[in-house]
């Protein structure tokens, strides 16, 4: 968007939405992984890890996804997972996002809900920025690893955005 108006939606380990119209710039999200970055890889991975442990505690469930996570991290037990999570940095946690996306793509409904929730939040931010800039048919560019590696996220975002911003023109960087 170097030479025009529009919105950039960034979803990598974190997330942010930045829009411009003429000289006015608006932002949403991008507050860092502790307080914000909803819809980024850290957010998605943390939601999945919390769900995994909650389902295990309540129903001794989610063992298939748990096995995938433990395998991806070369760990053997939930105790090891908890110890890992206590010292893991933002990037290390976000690296689990492909495991979540893969599970969602293979029909895991709970992981698909997490993917949809991330896309929903980013759409909300995008719509807020478009509204503040009075952009009815904004050009929207998607950047960041979550929009490149796994099309499931791009599709979820586009599907949600179409409902409230049907005239938006969305491209992937």
What pTM did the predictor assign? Answer: 0.90
How many angstroms separate the first and last alpha carbons of the chain?
10
CA 53/CA 104 separation, integer angstroms: 17
In order along its 173 residues, the chain shows pLDDT tens digits of 556 899 999 999 999 999 999 999 999 999 988 887 899 999 999 999 999 999 888 888 667 889 999 999 999 999 999 999 999 999 999 999 999 999 999 999 999 999 999 999 999 999 999 999 999 899 999 999 999 855 899 999 999 999 989 999 999 98
Q: In whole angstroms, what is the distance from residue 26 CA to residue 133 CA?
A: 7
Burial class (CB in 10 A: 0-12, 13-18, 19+), 130: buried
Structure tokens at 64: 């298939």
pLDDT tens-digit series, residues 63-113: 788 999 999 999 999 999 999 999 999 999 999 999 999 999 999 999 999
Among residues 87, 89, 84, 59, which one has the least CA distance to residue 69? Answer: 84
């Amino acid at each position: 968007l170097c030479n025009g108006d529009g919105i950039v939606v960034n979803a990598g380990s974190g997330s942010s939405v930045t829009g411009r119209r003429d000289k006015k710039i608006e932002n949403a999200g991008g507050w860092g992984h502790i307080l914000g970055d909803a819809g980024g890889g850290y957010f998605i991975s943390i939601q999945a890890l919390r769900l995994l442990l909650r389902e295990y505690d309540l129903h001794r469930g989610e063992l298939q996804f748990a096995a995938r996570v433990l395998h991806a991290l070369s760990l053997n037990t939930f105790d090891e997972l908890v110890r890992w999570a206590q010292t893991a940095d933002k990037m290390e946690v976000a690296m689990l996002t492909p495991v979540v996306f893969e599970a969602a793509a293979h029909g895991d409904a709970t992981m698909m809900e997490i993917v949809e929730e991330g896309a929903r939040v980013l759409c909300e931010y995008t719509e807020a920025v478009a509204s503040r800039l009075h952009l009815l048919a904004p050009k929207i560019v998607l950047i960041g690893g979550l929009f490149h590696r796994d099309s499931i996220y791009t599709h979820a975002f586009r599907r949600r955005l179409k409902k409230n911003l049907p005239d938006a023109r969305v491209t992937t960087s």
